[in-house]
Amino acid sequence: MRVLIACEYSGRTREAFRKLGHDVISCDLLPSVDDSPYHYQGDVFDVIEEAGPFDLMIAHPPCTFLTIAAEWAYKDEQKKKMKPCTLIGAARRAAREEAIAFVMRLANAPIPKIAIENPIGVLSSG
């Protein structure tokens, strides 16, 4: 089976599938921690388009804006002290919309079997 492990840089899932004899590649914006030649650093949609077709995709999208943790940060007015780089209010809401759009693109990829890791959050509440 041809397998794509999306949003993974550790190589753990990729290597588990390789040990089972599958043709597998991982992809992430970060380099792989194991320097594997079976890892693509870049946009997952480039891999889907250029290296496909795949039979299975397992995706681990970043959950920062998908989780229901830190729901307080979506309010425009803040009373908590936060790290300087923390998105709040409208900027955080926009980042959530972008994260949802990314996951929906993954879900609609032309791959017959798709599994997407999802924290308890906005995707599971709709």
Q: What is the pLDDT of residues 37-76, one digit of tens each?
A: 999 999 999 999 999 899 999 999 988 888 877 777 777 7
For residue 120, the number of C-alpha atoms closer than 13 Å in the C-beta half-sphere is: 3
- Whole-structure pTM value: 0.86
Residue 35 is assigned to a structural domain of this protein: yes
The number of domains in the chain is: 1
Residue 123 is assigned to a structural domain of this protein: no
Please give the residue range of the domain that contains residue 13. Answer: 2-116
Give the full edge-to-edge strand order of the sheet including 56-59. 39-41, 23-28, 2-6, 56-59, 113-116
Residue 124 is assigned to a structural domain of this protein: no
The arithmetic mean of pLDDT across residues 80-104, rounded, is: 84
